[in-house]
Structure formats: C-alpha cells, structure tokens
Amino acid sequence: MGTSRTTRIALTIYGIIIIAFLYLPLVSVAFASVSKARYLTFPIKRYSTGWFSEALASTEVRMLALTSLKIAVIVTILSMIIGFFGALAFARYQWRYRSLFQKLVLLPIFFPQTVLGLALLMWFNSLGIIPSWKTAIVAHLVWIAPIATLIVAIRAYSFDPALEEAARDMGASTPVILREITLPLLMPGIVAAGLFSFLLSWGNFPLSLFTTGADSTLPEWLYAKMVSGYSPLVPTLGILSVIGSFLLVIAALAGLAIYRALRPQK
C-alpha cells in the first residue's frame, strides 16, 4: 500500500524533530568547544580551536583519558569473554537452572547505578580492598557484563544447533567446534557487545564515582569541573570523547565488513 503525501510530510517532520531532540544538545556542546569565550553565548563572537590544542597538550587530561581507557579496554575484553560464555548458557544450551540464570543475570541492568556503586564500595570496604581504577573495573563489569551477555544471546538465539551437531558428526571435538563454528557465527554479536561495553564503560560516571577511590576517570573530572571551576575544556573533552566513540563504531563496523568479505576466500 502506498503512503499518502500528507503522511510522508508528517513522517519527515516527525523524523526531523526526533533527530533535533537527540542531537541539538550535542551541537551546543560543539559550539561551546569552538567558542573563544569562556562561557557560551549566542551569537558566538570569535571562534577558536585553542581549547582542543590545550586539551590534547594537557598532562592531566592525558592521565584521566588513560585511566578511563585502561578501565574501558579491560572491561571490554572481559565483557566479551563473559558475554560469549554467558550467552551460550543463556540461549544456546538447555540446562536445569537456565530460566533462573536468565533472570538473575539480567537483574543488575535494572539496578540504579548509584545504589550499585554504593553497594560495591561498601563491599570493597568490608573486604579491606582500597578502591582504585582496578575496583572500578569490577564495578563496571557488574553492570556491563549482563548487557554484553544479552547482546550476544540475541545472536545465539538465531543460531541453529544443528550446525554444531553437524560439525561434531564430521569429527570435530568441542574446542574445534567452538573455534570453527560457534565463535565465528557469534562474532557479530560479540563485536557489538564489545562496542557497547567500551562505550558504556568509557562514559560511565555513577559507578566510577563510587569505586575509583583516589583515581579519577574522564567523566568524573568533567563532573567535578562542572560543579566547580568550569572551563571550556569540559565541552571540548566531551566533543573529543564523542568523536572518539563515533570513530570507534565506524572502525568496528568496517572491521566486521572486511572480516565477512574475506572469510569465504580464505
């Protein structure tokens, strides 16, 4: 059935409004980062990329970014591993307590992150562990690994169990099946889970606030600067962070496309 002209116009307007609602705040941050003035006012009188140069040259910013990056990379790797095996238990195999596992593993996603952060801080304290960027990894994992599991599980649900059975029937052992069949077929889900994990960890503030101790991540620093001592470095770092995330997504999608294109010709 065709769409009427009025409906098409209404849908276009609706789409523009949604896009504007999502991206306009980001645009204002982008303007703030290229305004020479300390505080953003419209119209912008003088544009400058000075804040970007200052941000990239700052040792403090570099240290903060490094801490955030360390946490995000380790959380990503661990989430991908936990997500892969968790998804097999969640969606691929039938076992006695699967239904209970499915409910419990998703529960942390629905906890308020501040409550989760506080609970983890109290737990670390009771165990005598001094909070640092390392404890933040554990905190991030508690929240992010279930999300990664869910993402890989969605892929695993569409997986035909006969593929593994066929491989076994032709002589493949369990590790070979995992390497040759299961892992490659779940790879798009694992990559997606890795991307989400990285971005969620990189931008996480509530869990980091409670669990990094003396260490500090980029989002924590941005928040601190917003509360006291605002500088245009705040929107500049925000924009750099968004650009980095965007490039990461593009790189991952390109990597996946190349992987798919090359694999059959190997």
Q: Which residues bind another protein (CB under 8 A)?
A: 160, 162-163, 165-173, 176, 180-181, 184-185, 263-266
Asked if residue 76 lies in contact with residue 201, where contact means CB atoms within 8 angstroms, the answer is: yes
3-state secondary structure of 35: strand
Residue 84 or 198 with smaller CB distance to another protein? 84
Residue 112 or 171 with smaller CB distance to another protein? 171
- The Cα 88–Cα 155 span in angstroms is 10
Could you tell me the smallest distance in angstroms from the CB atom of residue 97 to another protein? 18
Could you tell me the smallest distance in angstroms from the CB atom of residue 162 to another protein? 4
- The Cα 160–Cα 175 span in angstroms is 18
Residues paired with 47 in a beta bridge: 35
Could you tell me the smallest distance in angstroms from the CB atom of residue 123 to another protein? 42
- The Cα 172–Cα 61 span in angstroms is 50
Residue 98 or 168 with smaller CB distance to another protein? 168
Could you tell me the smallest distance in angstroms from the CB atom of residue 261 to another protein? 11
Could you tell me the smallest distance in angstroms from the CB atom of residue 88 to another protein? 17
Q: With the C-alpha atoms ordered 151, 247, 78, 132, is the resulting torsion angle positive or negative?
A: negative
Q: Which residues 6+ apart lie within 8 Å of 226 measured at CB?
A: 234
Residue 163 or 247 with smaller CB distance to another protein? 163
3-state secondary structure of 118: helix
Residue 169 or 214 with smaller CB distance to another protein? 169
Residue 53 or 174 with smaller CB distance to another protein? 174
Q: Which residues 6+ apart lie within 8 Å of 97 measured at CB?
A: none
CA dihedral of 214, 68, 191, 182, whole degrees rounded to 10:
-30
- The Cα 229–Cα 187 span in angstroms is 45
Q: Which helix (H) or strand (E) holds 215?
A: none
Could you tell me the smallest distance in angstroms from the CB atom of residue 75 to another protein? 28
What one-character-per-residue DSSP string does 46-92 give? -B--HHHHHHHH-HHHHHHHHHHHHHHHHHHHHHHHHHHHHHIIIII
Residue 60 or 165 with smaller CB distance to another protein? 165
Could you tell me the smallest distance in angstroms from the CB atom of residue 122 to another protein? 46
